[in-house]
Amino acid sequence: MNASALVAAAVQVGVVAVGAPLLVGLMRQVRSRLEGRAGAGVTQPWRDLRKLLRRQPATPTGAGWAFRLAPLLLIGTSLVLAAVTPLLTTASPLDPAADLFAVVGLLALGTVILALAALDTGTAFGGMGASREITILALVEPTILVAVFALSARVGSTNLAAIVTATLHDPLRVASPASLLAAAALAIVVVAETGRLPVDNPATHLELTMIHEAMVLEYAGTDLALVEWASAMRLTVLLGLLASLFLPWGIAGASLAGLPVALAVFGAKVAVLAAGLGAAEVFIAKLRLFRVPELLAGSFVLALLAVASSFFLA
């Protein structure tokens, strides 16, 4: 652990925390333009967060510690994810913790925390959203593990920074069948994990279709701001991880000299992915709920094929 690594990790966390709402605003703006609307602007999510942070939180009658602690725990796991995932640099002081299983565990922990908070409210919507979210979690997390394991098989390590470094040294890995299949599987699970179309619609409040929104209906004020901020950071981290694993060029090493370039390249890659996702949502309809497991099962099959090809086509 050295000063350069500490600075790089701090910059990475700051970039994710500040840039996450802007990324959500970019997706909304792209979608608005394609739908023929002017849009509220890229900075609108930050204005919404500022407004929510000025309001008092509200706790439903009978809710316990799970409901009150969930926003803090969710924002905490999101910040840790931003620190351990190789987004700007591969020389983070938390590199030993940047293991595939640790990152997936942190993602699952955040989802379970929010599901417990939804159950703690005792409302029908909270229980419905929690059950749907856990069902998706049970299908998403194994797919992430298997897909990234296909990339780690040739490296001999499940450390994400090691996988990214190996791809930098051997760029042809990106064009291998294992990488292409793993990229397709991860793209699907990122959409499911972040609650985007066609799995979930973040702009709806219809009780029969919403998943994530059903779990946060009882939150207000600063608690809702933390939940929304954490969701935006999880989206940024997952898109950044997708870019780092399959398009790692521009990531800085142990030196701080390459950090400004890494910041610019990271912003460009994540912005392109977010704009593409926002544009795709205009032309995609939400799947029926019972069809979502079929989509996620297909992504798991792609991940299994990626593992098989990494061994047999090496």
Q: What is the pLDDT of residues 240-295, one digit of tens each?
A: 999 999 999 889 876 777 889 999 999 999 999 999 999 999 999 888 888 999 99
Q: How would residue 312 be classed by pLDDT, with cut points 50, 70 and 90? A: confident
pLDDT on residue 1: 55
Q: What's the pLDDT score for residue 160?
A: 92
CA distance 21 to 75: 14
Q: Is 247 helix (H, G, I), strand (E, B) or coil?
A: coil
Condensed to tens digits (0 to 9), the pLDDT of residues 174-198 reads: 889 999 999 999 999 999 999 888 8
CB atoms within 10 A of CB 108: 18
The number of domains in the chain is: 1
State the Cα–Cα distance between residues 173 and 104, nearest whole angstrom: 23
Rounded mean pLDDT, 8-32:
95
Mean pLDDT of 102-111: 93
Residue 207: predicted pLDDT = 64
Least confident among 89-98, 155-164, 186-195, 220-229: 89-98
And the tokens for 65? 């510690």
pTM over 0.85: yes
Going by C-beta distance under 8 Å and a sequence separation of 6 or more, which residues neighbour residue 174? Answer: 167, 246, 247
Q: Which domain holds residue 141?
A: 3-312
pLDDT of residue 175: 87
Query: Rounded to an integer, what distance in angstroms lies between the CA atom of residue 310 and that of residue 152?
Result: 9
Nearest one of 111, 103, 110, 108 to 86, comparing CA atoms: 103
Nearest to 94 by CA among 86, 156, 148: 86
Rg (CA), the chain: 19
Contact 64, 234 (CB under 8 A): no
Question: How far is residue 163 CA from its own chain's centroid?
Answer: 19
pLDDT score at 208: 66
Residue whose pair of structure tokens reads 């938390």 in the numeric block: 94
CA distance 155 to 162: 7
Measured at the alpha carbon of residue 110, what is the angle toward residues 259 and 94, in degrees to the nearest 5? 35
Q: What angle do CA 263, 266, 269 make, to 5 degrees?
A: 150
